[in-house]
Structures are given as structure tokens and as C-alpha cells.
Structure 1
Amino acid sequence: MPPKSDFAHVTQLVALNFLASKSTRADFAVDQTSLQLQIEAHAPGVYRLRCAPASALNPEKPSARARAHAEMLLARQEPVGELAVSSIAEPPASGWRIQQGDTTLELTQSPLQLAVYRGDDCILTSPEGSLTYDSTETLWRLSFDLDGDDALHGTGSTAGELNQRGTVSVSDKPEAPALPMIWSTKGWGLYFNTMARVEHDMGHSDPDLYQASMYGSVFDAFLFVGDPSEILNQYTALTGRAGQPSLWPMGVWLDQAPGQSSDDILAVVQTFRDQQWGLDAVCLGAPAVYGFQADKPVFEWDAARVPDARDLFSRAQALNIQLAAPSFPGVLSDTDMFAEWEDRGWLLIDDDGNAHIFDGNDVTGGKPFGLLDLTHKDVYKLWSERQRQVFDDGLGAPVCDAQFNIPDGITARGGESGAVLRTIYPLLARQALFDAVAGHKTPQEGVVISADLFPSAQRFAWQRGPRTGNDWAAFEHSLRTALSLGDSGVTVQTHTLGSAVHPVEGMSPELYIRWLAANVFSANFSFQALPALLPSAFDAATQELVQHWLQWRYRLVPYVLGIIEDAVRSGLPVQRSMALAFPSDPLAQVWDTQYMLGPALLVAPVLKPGKQVQVYLPEGDAWWDLNTGWRYEGGTTWTVEAGLDTLPLFGREGHMLCLGPTAQHTGDFNSARILDEVWMFGMPEHSPVVMRNKIRVMQMQGSSYIKGLEGLRILPSEGLEVKRRGAEVRISRAR
């Protein structure tokens, strides 16, 4: 809450008066102000709360800029829920009860307070004075009570504990951007629908309060009620879900090392092929290998790094490799194009109307540059079309980090500046690139490689993880970042095996294999082409283990891609934290470096030297050890032995794991026979998650009948027997 000296400019929403209601919305007037509060049943379990003067809530004709921002933030504009409003006249307070299904939002008339119910359970309450508006700063503040069951997740990435309680995050910091979304394991979530700055104080100032600060003249927030998986489902249905990648990005990647030539990186690829280490893609390193010519608005390749682009693509194709390359939405400041586009107003400008010159970075080779004003539709179109030409020439994917530290005084043509511009810019850059690489395909397929985080980032299914170092702490950092991004609705988070820009002395053979094994059971990962971080830098035994785990990776591709395809319907990430998967099991959440890979597999990475690993198996299900075939009850802790050729992996009872064949790259996959083998964890109850899924499970009279397993090897759990009847497989108890 603001200090007392600030209250002269602060409107405190003290009391409400009911105005009207219809099937989707209830309207209230705020006493002694010009404000109105609208509560909308946006979807089952989702309430939209908006507060502002009536003219701002219901403008007759929104501006083109306002419509564009709304479309960037929300994939679904119109409400699809229904609500019922009833009065509360129960002493000592009166107010209203707004219901949809088994969720209820109660408003106390005076003083204004909110309470949220899930069934008969009250899961969220607000203190008095929970919503205020500071007209001087155009700042809204909202607070809710926290109790001991509220573990808070979803605001973005973290390298620390996944439960963010006790911390503060700010949405528009380029070095550590947060998302304007949060959820609690207790069953509630909030999303602040704005491009402006949002600050989350998650019990830092007051351990018993969650306090949010939202800048802007209109308060606009969505309140979610449900399990975390339901909240992510509704959140991503509201804000947009990921398109799916094509097959080749699911294979293993290799990142070019600093200073490495094209010949050098292709020689490394040849070594992978000779050693039968699976590989599908090479990501070229900074600086950018293509960009605008100095005097023409067309792209050219950097002749020093790529003397002949056609020859490079031809050589890559011969090795069955796709290429990705870095790009940036700008033009070098010492070129004729910079001067021409400054005159046209095609670059971001300062208060004096001059194009702002940004300091050079790795991608520009240290050279200063101007940023294209992507809010200008002609500039956006030009940059996207130029990129499409590069992909049509043979480039597989772009790499672009556009979370620039844009100073407050810099303005775009659309009028955006400050936090809004810092938020909208990486969004526009990623969208323009996705339009270029995938927009002309039906259905849209493609990846844009970026570490940028912004509202609706989850629409683009390829989030690059951090380059953290080469020791055990860096390994854990990478894992926690991926899990926290998954908690934030980002479907795919990729990892790097070590870092070419950090000292490599800490990378032992044991750490290398443990890190690789965990990466195999993730959305995806990349090797670093620095010689000291390649498999060839290690002994023969380690290289054999690399081959072992890479074979596992390619066998998992149909399952992992199936999870991504499923995210289009569910919004759930590939790697799911214990809090997301098991919100009602507090003990599981303590084991926050374990995770679910999709719905079927529990993975417990080995994060320190040694073979003995403690694993917690969440309650509510039984679990099958993939290494031994033993069955364990949930709610138990075990110490398991894991050599370097194994990883603590457990299948969730009732599920199946569908595996593909061993391959050296995804081009080896037979599209007519993408699967090779099925592992069953107890009696099958759920249809498996797998790409292009046509496998269906039906239960009847104690047996499971499965269609779609023709020609596949079936490995049932102990105590089950398999009978094939034409196209149908029957799984029943062994007699």
C-alpha cells in the first residue's frame, strides 16, 4: 500500500452499488467516484475484473492502436461464460454473490472486499482497501491475503526455488523480465491484461499479503479458479497457445562456438555422423551472418563468415542438417540505410525526433545500431518479408533476442514508450519472424529461437534456456529455469549442455553425462561446439554413454512432440513442475527439481556426484521403475542406484510410453511407421500422448482394449498379458 503522504491522490474503492447484470456481466458503481467496476464471466472458472470511468470501459469506437494491443494480449476477446448474481444480506456484511458453476466470487458492499470460493472452500480473500487507484501515477494496487497453503508460481523464470513467495518481480526489466501472471497451488490465479508495467510483491513487504501494482488508466485483470493445470489451460486459451514445430527441430542441436568458421562447424557435424551421434540442426553463433546491405533494404550474407550461402546450404543438406542463424531487427548506424530510414521515421526515435542509437552487442559485432520501428506496419512487413526470403533460400530457423533495454524517452510511431515499448517490442519481433518462417504454411509450423519473455510468449513454441556455466550449479540453474517457465505457460524450454562462454574446467565426464541424460528427457537441448565441450573431448567410455543417451533422445521424439501437440489443446508444458502436476501434495512440491515429462514419466535428474539418488513418488498414483520394472506406491520416498547409463525414471500407472526407432536424425523416421515399441505401466487407462496420435484405449470388464498398435512391440507390466485380435489389442490380468 502507498504511504500516508500519497493518499491525497489515491482513490480507495470503499463501497459499491449494484447497477445491472446480464448473462455474462455484472456492473457496479463505486461510491463517491466516477469509477465503475465490471465483473465478467469470461470462461468457466474465469472472471474478468475491469475498473475505470464508464467511458473508458465501454468506448464507442476503440482506436486502432487499442485494438492492436488487445489482439496482441488476448486470443479470445469475447466472454464464453455465464454468471448468476444474487444478493447477500447476511450480517454483519451485505453484498453480492457472483456464481458460475462451482466457483463463486463474493463482493462485500462496504467496505469493499472480495472472497473467492471453489465449491464450499474459500481459497482467496482480500483485506479492506484491497483495490486503490493513484491518479498521479495512473497506478492501480490490488492486494490479497496469503495463508500457509499459498505457494506462488507463474511470474516467469527463476534459478532459485520455484515457489516465488517472498520475492518481488517486475514485468519490463530486460535483464530479468517477469510475466503479469501468477497462480497459487491453493487453486487461484491472476493475469493482468496490460502491456504496461506490473509489479508482483509476493509476500516480500508483508509475508501475509500478495500485492500487485498495475500501471495504466484502466484496471483489467483475469481471476482464475481451479487446479494449476486448469488455470494454465484457461490462461493459454485466453492469451494464445503455441503452434507446433515440424519434425526436424525435435532432433538434437549443435551451437557454433565463438570464432568458429562454417568449415569448422560442418567438420564437427561430420564427426557426429561418423560416431553415430544423433544430430539434426546447427545454430550459427553471433554476430549475425546476414543483415541489411549498407545502401539497400535487402539482406546480404556476411561474406567473411558465409562466402557462398548456396554452397553452405548444399553442404548442410548433404549432412542432413538444418541451419539456424542469428538476426536482429535493426540497421547499423554508420550506413546509408540508417540515415534514409531515420528520415522516413522507420526507426525508434528520441525526444528530439532523432533515431536512437543503441550500443553494439554480440549480434551486431559490437557495432552501434538503430532499431526498426516494428509498430509501423510498413516496417514490420518489410522486415518479415525479407526474413521469409532467407528461409525460402534454405535457412531453417531464425535466432533473435529482442528484449532490448529501451530507455524511457524513446518512442515508437504508435506512441508506445517506456514499459509498454519494452514489452511490446520483443513480442512484435517474435511475431514478425514467426510470420516469416511459418505464416505461409498450412498448418503453421516453425520455430523462432529466442530467450525473450513477454505476455503471450507461450504462443511461440521454442524458448531458449540460459547459458549458465559448466558446473553442477549451472546444470541445476538450467533445470529450474525450464520448470519455472513451464509454470508460466511456456510450452517448450530448451537447454544447453554447458556454455561456450564460461570456463570449462568444472565440466567432468560425470557431470557431462548427467546433464546430457536430463536434457534428453526435456523439450530439447543443444551441444556446444567448443572443442572442450564436445563428446570427442572425453574418453571412449563417456563417448559410448553419449551414444546411448542420444539413442534414447530419438526414441523419445514421438512422445515429446506429442506433448507439444497436446499443448495446443491443454496449454501444459513439456516439463511440468511438481507444483503444477501435484498441487494437492505439499511434500511433492518440496522435491522441486523432479518433474513430469508430459503426463506419463516422472524424471529425477541426478544433480550432484554419486550414484545414490533419493526420489519422492507423489501420492495418488502407483509408479513403475523403468530401469527395474518394479512397482512402487505413491506418497513414498526411495533411495535408488543410478549408474551413468541410467536415470531415475518412473512411469505413472495407467499410462503408456510410445517410443520410436533408433535414428541418427529425424530424416531417418518412416512417416508411415513413426513408432516402434510401447511400454505399459500397469493396466492402460489413458490414451497415450504421441505425435499424430491415433491410439485409443477403452476399458471394459476389467480389461483394456487398444486400437492403433498394429505392428508394434508391446512391453506390458508384470502381471499383465497381451492378446492381439486383428487391429485390436486386449490387455488383461494374467491368469
Structure 2
Amino acid sequence: MIPISQQAPLTFADNTLFYHDLPLLRGTAASPIAFIGRGDADVAMYQGNFEISDNMQAKLPLTLSNHAINENEIILTLGFQGEAYLELTCFLDASERLVIKPKLLKAGWNRFWIRLTADQHEHVYGCGEQLSHLDLRGRHFPLWTSEPGVGRNKHTLTTFQADQTHSGGDYYTTNYPAPTFISTRMYYCHVASYDYADFDFRNDDFHELQFWGLPLSLTFDTASTFSELITKLTGLVGRTTGLPDWTNNGLILGVQGGTKRVSEIADQLKENDVALSGIWAQDWEGIRMTSFGKRLYWDWKADDKLYPNLTTSIKHWQDQGIEFLGYINPYIANDTQLFADVKDLGYFAKNKDGEIYLVDFGEFLCGVVDFTNPDAFTWYKELIKKRLISTGMKGWMADFGEYLPTDVVLYDHSDPMVMHNKWPVLWAQCNYEAVKESGLQDEIMYFMRAGGTGSQKYAPVLWAGDQSVNWSLDDGLAATIPAALSAGLTGNSISHSDIGGYTSLYGNIRSRELFMRWAEMAAFTPVMRTHEGNRPDQNFQVYDDYDASVHLAYATQTFKALTPYRKTVVAEAVNQGLPAQRPLFMHYPDDDGTYDIQYEYLFGRDLLVAPVYRPGKQAWSTYLPKDNWVHLWTGEHFTGGDTVEVQAPLGQMPVFYRADSAFASLFEKIGAKH
């Protein structure tokens, strides 16, 4: 702690706590600083989708009853009807960040609310990966890792149909929630808690943060620019380790069906000048068919029928300059040999009867590897080394992490209501340590969809999850843009998505045009990777269409040509924590028009990208902040400060570069070659 006598940044006056002259906590009779309550959670899980309610028994508003300014801290005492119930200890840490630690003075309370002062015109961003809304103001956001749900919009037929099987989503459902946000009042708030939470930004005068438990602490910091603010935030929560150089060589081709089919499709696309950096065969361990579509056989060893002598095949592809990526998740199907081999070792989480807890993943059941058991954690880490890394894989999808049931019994007897949101982080840490201990952090890229606080370091690359194969704003191509932006503002700098989407249900079928628009967007993201989807035979596949493969080739060649610039962007992510995909306001804070834009982004500092996310469009309107912009494809100059319309045929979605960029000559060459 920094002595209070030197704490000009932290003051208390007029019942208000100030940090760098920013009022954060203000107690009045009409608006208490905090509340405490008592409730019983009711949680039901349906294949990773959750229905959550709270049986509230009591809730007390706590007003300021006393404050004390000591040598190193300010202590606010909060009470109800003359009795003290809560203390907030406020101090500056060694980095001059404000830390607030709550302490209950009376036992028996398990709900906590705290109100932060707000401004009517304030914007708020973050809370992990949010796919429907970039600006969080005017809404509340439950923070609970889960399947995002199919559709994610209660006004659509798709979501209505999905809700009949408890698989529909809502605007806030996400694989990756986080109790962290940034404000246009130029501060961030990060809460050290994995409890179920609900951040409410609907009130003009305050933000109300709710937790089903007492947080360890709330941390705040301020900055003069958004870039500095994100750098400070990632200095606290962690930063990505970056990308291997091989990812710059082109597309990671998502394809499956065995060695012969994979090789034939890769060769076919290469003949059409598609630049390939990798082959991602998620079915390396075999498949099972369900009513949902093609699923995988979760035994985590190479399927000898589909991929005989996989290590030899991987070496063959590597000799062609193509790396091989696989798939794994933290569950083991109960009908596999691996499950039988380890079921008596105590490595699975248990139910209340002491039996292995089996989770329904949709027509098959799985055991949960109990990462609170150090032996189980180490065993699974070694499994990754032996069955993935030692075969020569240079990456994999580290899937799931959201499914920890709330009635499970864990090895360390921790509360599963708390561990649920932490589980994706433990899963990420398992992968991180396996790669680090193998000495291959510069060569291996694994990517995750689930996350929480700590994933910034342990999950170096995100993907946006299972989008529907359609044009919906909440669950299609467009949703991946606010997903990347919000995740980036929470410290997860590198993100990408399944080119073409994944989920094909209720008549949603991937079209040729959707795939092509998704591919051209992906050229201006950190990683390019395709997915065949859950029902590959029913959906458009690029290898079945020559013209589409030529379009994909252009996109991959553009991606490859951007390597010098992209390396600079990734270096900023590693060293400064800056997101690769950035909201326009990050670099144009004086432009009021930038704060509500969520379907455009800056790729690094110098490229503005406006993906076409509606079908049948040949022209597209794009907002340009005031600057000197050059249209990548035509060379036309714009001064910005307004919306412009440009031609946007397939292969030429609106992309602009800053005329005074150090990479202007590179961008000019890329545009001229198209």
C-alpha cells in the first residue's frame, strides 16, 4: 500500500470516494452504496444451456454510517438501521491502482450489490465476449459461462425453435463472460470473483454490480487514452503470448474425413492457389453421428481407420509447409477405452452419491476431468503432451469448458457455483502448461471459445464459438465483430471465427455467398480458419465450387501479403495488450460518431474494415472517422468524418487504410494486385 499522506489520487469528501478526481462511490439516503442479501440459487443445465433463478429471502440497503482515513487506507463502514454490516477498505496498490476490498461484519449473507457512480452520456464496454451489443449501456449482463444458444434473439423464429429444446440463447449468453469493463470516463473496473454476477448499466446515475457471493476485491485504474487504459488493464489480468510464424502462411483449412480425403482437398485448393498454413482435422480421434449432426469420438487418440500412421502423415504435410491441428476438450466419453482405463483413479468429478458425474452432451455421456485434483490436472496435461504434441500437432481447438454442473462434487470440495465460471480458465491453464513445458510456445497455437478472468494469459487465441450459418445479427457473421471487439477490450487481444459459421439447424443452410463474405473478412483478422460445420453434407463447401475457391485464394493471398503489418499488430498485442481488432473510438475518441459502431473495426491502427454482413449487396455504406483514408481496392481518397458508400462486390468488401501509415506502400500493392 502507498501511505495515505502521499495518496493524492485517492480522496474522500462529501460522502464520495474520488480516484484521480473521478467520483466512484457516493452514498446518499436515496441511493445506497451497497446492498447485501440472502438467496438460494436454482440452476438447471440442458447440454450447456442454463436456466438460472434466485429465491431471494432478504435484501438490505446499506448506507454510509462512518468513514476512517488511516495511514494507508480509507475504510467505509456501511450499515442498516444503525447496525454496521459491511466494510469497504480502499487503498492504492504498488502500481497506484485503486483496490476496494469488501468485508462482511455479520455472517449469513450471500448476495452483494455495489453501485458505482455513472454519467448519463457514458459508454461502457467489455464484460468478456459479448456478441449482440458492444456498448453495454442501457442493458444488464448476467455473467455466466454457457453455450451462447442458437439464434440468441428472442424475437426470431430460430431462437423460438431452439427454445423448445432449451438451447435458445439471449443477447447476453456467452461462452466467455468476465467481471471487467471499461468506461468512457476513462477508467476500467476489474472484479476478482468467479461468482455468478449481473452487471447492470441501465441507470443514468449509477452502475449496479451484483454478485452471488462476496468478491475478493474490485480494482480500478485510469488513463488519458483508451490504448493506455487497455495496456494498464492487461498489465493486471494478463496478455496473449502471440502467434506462431507459420500461421502467417495462409489459411488453416478445416476439413475432415480421413487422411486420403484431407490430402485430396488440400491438394485441390493448393492447385487453385489457396495459400495454406495448416490442416485442422477435428475428427482425428474419430466421429459419432447424432441427430445434431457429425460429432467427435472423445477418446483422444488417433482413429486408426481414418488417420492411420498419423505421425507419419503429419510429417508429410509439414514437408509441404502445412502444419496439422487437432481437437480436444476436458471431457471423456463414458463409452471409450480411455474412460474405462481411468475411471478408478479418482480423476473424474463425482455426484452426491460418490459416483462419477456423467454430463449429457447430446446422445452421449461424459465424465468431467476434475482439475481441482492436482493428480488429475497433471494427468490430463501429460495426455495432451503424449497424444497431441508428440504426434507433431502444432495446434488444436481446446473446446468447451462451460459445462461444469452446479451440483457436482469436486475433489477440493470447492463450491461448483463459483468454480463454474473458473472452469474454462483451469482448462486453459492445462493447455498452457502442456505447451510451455514442452518448450513449444513459439510453435503451437491452440484456440478456445470458453473463458474467464485469467484466460488472457492462458488462452492466447480465442474463436467466437458456434455461429449459425446465416446472416443473423445476433448469431451469424455480424456477431463475430462485437465479439472480437468486446473480448479485446477485456484483454483478449487475438480472436477469429469459423469461416462460414458452424451451426446448421432449423433450415439454416450455409450459402456460397455467406462463405465468401466470411472469408474476405477473415483475411483482415489475426487468423484465417474454415469449418465444414455440424452438417457438412447439407451446407456449401468451398472445395465443391471452383469460383468460390478462387475467391478464397484471393483472400488467403491478401492475408499472406499483410504479414508484415499483421506481425506488428500481434507484437502490440503481446507487448502492450492492445487488441488486434479495435473499435473505432479507440483511436478516434473525439469523434462522437464512433462510440456506437459495432460492425466495423480497425485492424491495428491503420486499417479500417467494414465487413458486408447482408446478402445480395453490391455497395456498402461505411462510417469513416475524420482522417486521410484511402480505399484499398480503388485508391480513392476520403477525408472521413461522415458515412461514405463504396462499391462492394464479392472480394472487395470496404477496407480503407490511413494515407500516412508506415505501411501505405504495402497496402497500395495489395490493392493493386486484386
Residue identity matched to 1:379: A
Q: Is the 8 A contact 2:145 2:421 kept in 1?
A: no
Deviations 1:337-380 (A, max 9, x none): 6577554432212223222112245xxxx542211211222221
Q: CA deviation at 1:585?
A: 2.2
How far off its partner does 1:193 sit? 0.6
Query: Relative to structure 1, is the Cα distance of residues 288 and 561 closer, same or farther in structure 2, using a 3 angstrom cutoff?
Result: farther
Indicate the SS of the match to 2:128: coil
Aligned residue type for 2:62: Q
- What is the CA–CA distance in structure 2 between the aligned matches of 1:11 and 1:589, rounded to whole Å? 34
Superposition pairs for residues 300-699 of structure 1, below 5 Å? 300-334=301-335, 338=339, 341-360=342-361, 366-389=363-386, 390-441=388-439, 446-459=444-457, 460-473=459-472, 474-499=476-501, 501-502=503-504, 507-529=510-532, 530=536, 533-540=540-547, 542-608=548-614, 609-619=616-626, 621-657=627-663, 678=666
2:352 and 2:268 mapped to 1: Cα distance?
54
Query: Structure 2: any 5+ residue segments left out of the alignment?
Result: 1-33, 39-55, 148-173, 288-298
Q: Given the superposition, is the C-alpha separation of residues 333 and 137 from structure 1 closer, same or farther in structure 2, using an over 3 Å criterion?
A: farther
Tell me if the contact between 1:255 and 1:526 (Cα under 8 Å) persists in the aligned partners. yes
In the TM superposition, residue 479 of structure 1 has moved relative to its aligned partner by 2.6
1:269–1:319 contact (8 Å) kept in structure 2? no
Contact 2:499 2:518 in 1 (8 A): yes
Helix, strand or coil at the partner of 1:155: strand
In structure 1, distance between residues paired with 2:64 and 2:402: 41
Residues in 1 aligned to 2:182 and 2:238: alpha-carbon distance in whole angstroms: 17
If the length of structure 1 is used for normalisation, what is the TM-score? 0.70
RMSD over equivalenced CA pairs, Å: 3.3
Conservation of the 8 A alpha-carbon contact between 1:356 and 1:410: yes
Letter in 2 for 1:538: D
Matched residue, 2:101: 50
> What does the per-residue CA deviation read over 1:493-535, in whole Å, with 9 as the maximum and x for residues that have no partner?
1122213542798655544433222110112222234475343
5 Å matches for 1:204-219? Answer: 206=203, 208-219=205-216
Which SS does the other structure have where 1:313 is aligned?
Answer: helix
Q: Could you say which residue in structure 2 is the equivalent of 1:223?
A: 220
Q: Which residue of 2 aligns with 1:189?
A: 188
SS in 1 for 2:127: coil
> Hey, what's the Cα distance between the residues in 1 that align with 2:492 and 2:328?
22
Question: 1:274 is matched by which residue type in structure 2?
Answer: E
Identity of aligned residues (%): 19
What corresponds to 1:201 in structure 2?
200
1:149 counterpart residue number:
121
Q: Deviations over 1:113-142 (max 9, x none)?
A: xxxxxxxxxxxxxxxxxxxx9954422211
Distance 1:21 1:373 in 2: 44
Which residue number in structure 1 is paired with residue 111 of structure 2?
A: 139
Indicate the residue corresponding to 1:89 in structure 2.
none
Partner residue in 1 for 2:262: 265
Separation (CA, whole Å) in 1 of partners of 2:503 and 2:184: 37
The structure whose Rg is larger is 1
1:170 aligns with 2:142: yes
Alpha-carbon distance between aligned partners in 2 of 1:167 and 1:628, rounded to the nearest angstrom: 41
Contact in 2 for aligned 1:412/1:421 (Cα 8 Å): no
> Aligned to 2:393, what secondary structure does the other structure show?
coil
For 1:425-481, what per-residue CA distance to the aligned partner results, in whole angstroms no more than 9, with x for missing partners?
A: 221111111221234327655322221121122222211123323333322123332
Q: Using a 3 Å threshold, how does the CA distance of structure 1 residues 4 and 199 change in structure 2: closer, same or farther?
A: closer
The residue aligned with 1:700 is none
- 1:161 is matched with which residue: 112, 133, 144? 133
Aligned to 1:20: 70
Aligned residue type for 1:633: T
Rate the CA distance shift 1:232–1:411 in 2: closer, same or farther, 3 A. farther
User: Per the alignment, in what secondary structure is the counterpart of residue 533 of structure 1?
Assistant: coil
Q: Distance in 2 between matches of 1:341 and 1:517?
A: 45
Alignment CA distance shift 1:505-1:456 (3 Å): closer
- The answer on whether the counterparts of 1:582 and 1:589 sit within 8 Å (CA) in structure 2 is no
Supply the AA of the counterpart residue of 2:520. Answer: A
Distance (whole Å) between structure 2 residues aligned to residue 328 and residue 594 of structure 1: 32
Decide whether the 8 Å contact of 1:10 with 1:134 is kept in 2.
no
Q: C-alpha displacement at 1:199, in angstroms?
A: 1.5
User: Residue type of the partner of 2:90?
Assistant: I
Task: Flag structure 1 segments of 5+ consecutive residues without an equivalent.
Answer: 54-132, 291-297, 659-676, 681-712, 716-735
Distance in 2 between the 1:451 and 1:308 partners?
Answer: 30
The whole-number CA distance in structure 2 between the counterparts of 1:243 and 1:158 is 23
Partner of 1:424, secondary structure, is: helix
Q: Secondary structure at the match of 1:422?
A: helix
- Residues in 2 aligned to 1:8 and 1:452: alpha-carbon distance in whole angstroms: 33
Q: Deviations over 1:563-599 (max 9, x none)?
A: 1221122211111122444344221223321110001
Structure 2 vs 1, CA of residues 571 and 159 (structure 1 numbering), >3 Å: closer, same or farther? Answer: same
Q: What is the number of equivalent residue pairs in this alignment?
A: 568
Distance 1:513 1:499, change over 3 A: closer
Secondary structure of 2:467's aligned partner? coil
CA contact (8 A) 2:285 2:301 kept: no
Following the alignment from structure 1 to structure 2, what is the Cα–Cα distance between the partners of residues 444 and 545?
31
TM-score w.r.t. structure 2 length? 0.76
Work out the CA distance in 2 between the residues paired with 1:348 and 1:213. 29
Distance verdict in 2 for CA 1:330–1:642, change over 3 Å = closer
Determine the C-alpha separation between the residues in 2 that align with 1:28 and 1:164.
Answer: 29
SS in 2 for 1:320: coil
SS in 1 for 2:478: helix
Instruction: State the one-letter code of the partner of 1:557.
Output: T
Q: Per the alignment, do residues 304 and 169 of structure 1 end up closer, same or farther by CA in structure 2, a change over 3 Å counting?
A: farther
SS, match of residue 596 in structure 1: strand
CA deviation digits over 1:72-96, x for unaligned, max 9?
xxxxxxxxxxxxxxxxxxxxxxxxx
Question: Does 1:282 find its partner at 2:279?
Answer: yes
Taking the aligned partners of 1:513 and 1:256, their CA distance within structure 2 comes to: 17
**2:243 equivalent in structure 1:** 245
Task: Please state how far the C-alpha of 1:336 moved relative to its aligned partner.
Answer: 7.6
1:40 paired with 2:39, answer no
- Aligned in 2, Cα 1:341/1:26: closer, same or farther, shift over 3 Å? farther
Greater relative contact order, per chain length (Cα 8 Å cut-off, separation 6+): 2
CA 1:347–1:638 in 2, change beyond 3 Å: closer, same or farther? same
The answer (yes or no) to whether the contact 2:193–2:215 under 8 Å persists in 1 is no
CA pair 47-654 structure 1, distance change in 2 beyond 3 A? farther
C-alpha displacement of 1:553? 0.8
- Classify 1:466/1:169 alpha carbon distance in 2 versus 1 (closer, same or farther; 3 Å): same
Letter in 1 for 2:310: A
Assess if the C-alpha contact under 8 Å between 1:19 and 1:27 holds in 2: yes
**Compared CA separation, residues 202 and 337, structure 1 to 2 (3 A):** same
Per-residue Cα deviation, 1:662-682 (whole angstroms, up to 9, x for no partner) = xxxxxxxxxxxxxxx6458xx
